[in-house]
Amino acid sequence: MELRIEHLSKTYPNGVHALHDVTLTIPSGMFGLLGPNGAGKSSLMRTLATLQQPDTGSIHLGAIDVLGAPDRLRQTLGYLPQEFGVHPKASAEELLTHFAILKGITDRRERRATVERLLRQVNLWDARHRKLGGYSGGMRQRFGVAVALLGDPTLLIVDEPTAGLDPAERVRFLNLLAELGERAVVILSTHIVEDVSELCTRMAIIDRGRILLEAEPLRAVAALEGRIWRRLVDRDALPEIERAHAVVSMKLLAGRTMVRVFASESPGPEFTPAEPDLEDVYFCTLGGHLARTDAPPALVEVG
């Protein structure tokens, strides 16, 4: 199964250009969509989930014309939006049973078995009688996944799923997504680079509605070998560093600032080579230091 997105564009009535000629090919497995808040991630996810129509473009999931036959897509779609409501006074078992009926699982025995299987899969079976209003953020996210998995979807879309989760809940949630990626197209939309680094074999970076980079994370990182340099500086030296170098990121370290810069050769004796990571790829792309390409990415120095 493969998801093909071609020349997708969307402008809202208020004039916001949310998507600009987005073209992506997404195979089965985990695919990461990275971008800052407001980059167009949620607009793309809502379009893929048939919640809004684009102005131009096409979407196909295998043989399904998503825009031409949205009902066919919805039969095989699981969608976990960034924000979703639950009935706080309902239990997980009650509400999931209700959603199963809405999904068309009319046979009572089949429905009961499906609800139990999904709640066990997301590790909520022992808490099935608890009211959803008493669930933690991670438990609610896992319940959302159970709802999204009704009907055994071949396309699963999750939008900013780990925002606000504590570290333990985040790990449990990501492990669950990894399992799902073994048998479906799973799109993980997020601004958290670490989530993509740990889970995804393919990724794209979007900003201001445009796809800036599409690559395999490991190959994108490898292409930065020898081009990331670091230096520990005082705060008053930062303006000069920013004027003279292509700064990738800055982080506080023991009261001083660790600066990472992009350069094809050593930018000076004060800098030492740094091992690149996916965060460097992300910030280099947003900063314009990487040209858009498939893996391995071509690198272009700016400034």
Render pLDDT for 171-183 as a digit per residue (tens, 0 to 9).
887 888 888 888 8
pLDDT band at 70; cut points 50, 70, 90:
very high
Q: Point out which residues pair with 8 in neighbouring strands.
A: 22
Most confident of 52-61, 72-81, 141-150, 180-189: 52-61
**Which residue, among 49, 48, 39, has the nearest Cα to 19 in the 3D structure?**
39
What pLDDT digit, counting tens, does each position of 38-50 carry? Answer: 899 999 999 999 9
Tell me the CA distances in angstroms from 64 to 2, 167, 227, 258, one per residue in order. Answer: 10, 38, 43, 49
> Residue 26: its pLDDT value, please?
94
DSSP 265: S
pLDDT band at 243; cut points 50, 70, 90:
very high
Q: What percent of the chain has pLDDT over 90?
A: 62
DSSP 298: P
Residues 85 and 51: their CA atoms lie apart, in Å, by 16
Start-to-end CA distance of the chain, whole Å, equals 42
> Residue 86: its pLDDT value, please?
74
Residue 182 phi, psi (nearest 5): -75, -15
What pLDDT digit, counting tens, does each position of 183-233 carry? Answer: 889 999 988 898 898 889 999 999 999 999 999 999 999 999 999 999 999
Residues 25 and 4: their CA atoms lie apart, in Å, by 5
Q: What would the two tokens of residue 178 be?
A: 């990894």
> Residue 173: its pLDDT value, please?
79
Mean pLDDT of 111-136: 93
> Residue 296: its pLDDT value, please?
45
Q: What would the two tokens of residue 147 be?
A: 């709802």
Residues 186 and 153: their CA atoms lie apart, in Å, by 10
> Residue 290: its pLDDT value, please?
66
Q: With beta carbons less than 8 A apart as the criterion, state whether 260 and 229 touch.
A: yes
pLDDT band at 291; cut points 50, 70, 90:
low
